[in-house]
Amino acid sequence: MQGASTEALLAAPTGTRRPRRRGRGPRDVDPRPGQIPGLDGLRALAIIAVLAFHFVPAALPGGFLGVDVFFVVSGFLITTLLLREIDARGRVDLLSFWRRRARRLVPPLLAVVVVSVVAARLVGGDLLVGIVRQTAGALTFTSNWLEIAAGASYFQSTSPILFVNFWSLAVEEQFYLLWPLTLVVVLAFAPSTRARVGAVAAAGLASTLLMAALFTPGSDATRVYYGTDTHLVGLMGGAALALAWADPTHRAGLRSRSWRRVRGPAVLAALLTLAALVRWSSEDSALTFRGGIALASLATVVLIAGLLEAPSPWRRAMSLRPLVWLGRRSYGIYLWHWPVLVIAGASCPMPPAPSVGPASSSVRCS
């Protein structure tokens, strides 16, 4: 995983905080300027799922789907930012866009990589297996493809993989690199919002079908899980929602009485669907790779749509101060948690303990 960041995968946007309006509850937080209320809370739910999967996998065996929540959030936010820039300036300044992403993502990532590599050198042992490849992948945002090429496994590794969670950051960075150019092409050649949304949704569907086609039950699923080509559905789902929301007609629909009537039940259904997937999916289930990841992404699209435009109980719940606090720190938490987990497990002499998440790393110290 991780997210994702995100204004980018899991990195929270910067800006000054608006003063709280009178009448607001003490546990609610006003969004920062330009920020969409409730998205930080959704990030918080995603990072909780990922942490639970890595620390207590038996409790949430499908917690890895939290990464797909991050993907949808990132696809939505990045596309929204690009569309706003195009609307304001008539074009996208690619170099400026990429510099902004780098400023948000690279400094904390460098800190994690440097500290983790130094700690791994001090501890030694299996932590050093593939450390050069892992470090190169982390620093170049190519972890997913380098691990695939090396035949490494996310699910069945016999040695701890220090930067295993960086695969999702690689997918997102590759999206940030290519998506602005792709979006410009979509806007130029698709004549209407419906056509644009359809084209982007079709790309997500094609990625889902490719994942299903390449997945072989009983075999290691790292290739289909790590592959940018096979794991685009969440990013494309978020991008499709952003394209629809940018259209005044579709945006007005989110303020309509008919949408308000169905919004509550739709959000509840999406939340229950996502909760069920996180609780009962597993990394060795064919259903996960043949529709489960896509369904989790679709549910997240509905949850984000429920946060847009008109206030709602769902938006207020996702704006609670503890969730906002956690969501704004989700990128850093995602970066640090796995290397710390692996290094702690390798540093503490202990009897065999239950595995924790991918790579079967034990972390209990006795």
231 within 8 A of 292, measured Cβ to Cβ: no
What is the secondary structure of 63-105 as a DSSP string?
Answer: GGGHHHHHHHHHHHHHHHHHHHHHHHHSS--HHHHHHHHHHHH
Spatial distance between the Cα atoms of 75 and 49, rounded to a whole number of angstroms: 19
Q: Which of 105, 4, 71 is nearest to 232 (CA)?
A: 71
3-class DSSP string for 220-273: CCHHHHHCCCCCCHHHHHHHHHHHHHHCHHHHHHCCCHHHHHHHHHHHHHHHHH
What is the secondary structure of 275-314 as a DSSP string?
Answer: HHHHHH--TT-HHIIIIIHHHHHHHHHHHHHTTSSS--HH
4 within 8 A of 169, measured Cβ to Cβ: yes
The residue behind tokens 């696809």 is 75
Residue 346 tokens read as 């390798």
Helical (H) or strand (E) element with 114: helix 94-123
- pLDDT, residue 156, reads 81
Q: What are phi and psi of 282, to 5 degrees?
A: -145, 160
Q: Digits of tens for pLDDT over the chain (366 positions)?
A: 433 333 333 333 333 333 444 444 445 555 554 578 899 999 999 999 999 999 999 999 999 999 999 999 999 999 999 999 999 999 999 999 999 999 999 999 999 999 999 999 999 988 999 999 999 999 999 999 999 999 999 988 777 899 999 999 999 999 999 999 999 999 999 989 999 999 999 999 999 999 999 999 989 999 999 999 999 999 999 999 999 999 998 888 888 888 889 999 999 999 999 999 999 999 889 999 999 999 999 999 999 999 998 889 999 999 999 999 999 999 999 999 999 999 998 887 554 444 445 544 444 343
Spatial distance between the Cα atoms of 9 and 7, rounded to a whole number of angstroms: 6
Angle between helices 131-140 and 94-123 (to 10 degrees): 160
Residue 28: DSSP 8-state: B
77-120 pLDDT per residue, tens = 999 999 999 999 999 999 999 999 999 999 999 999 999 999 99
Spatial distance between the Cα atoms of 236 and 260, rounded to a whole number of angstroms: 25
Spatial distance between the Cα atoms of 345 and 45, rounded to a whole number of angstroms: 26
- pLDDT, residue 86, reads 94
Cα 67 to its chain centre, rounded Å, is 4
* Burial category of 17 from C-beta neighbours within 10 Å (exposed 0-12, middle 13-18, buried 19 and up): exposed
187 within 8 A of 86, measured Cβ to Cβ: yes
- pLDDT, residue 213, reads 97
Q: Find residue 10's DSSP bridge partners.
A: 5
Residue 258 tokens read as 């008919």
Q: Which of 40, 39, 19, 45 is nearest to 30 (CA)?
A: 19
3-state SS class at 319: coil
pTM of the model: 0.88
Distances (CA, A) of 131 to 68, 73, 124, 190: 26, 31, 11, 45
Which amino acid appears at position 330 of this protein? S
- pLDDT, residue 73, reads 98
What is the secondary structure of 30-55 as a DSSP string?
Answer: PPPTTPPTTHHHHHHHHHHHHHHHHH
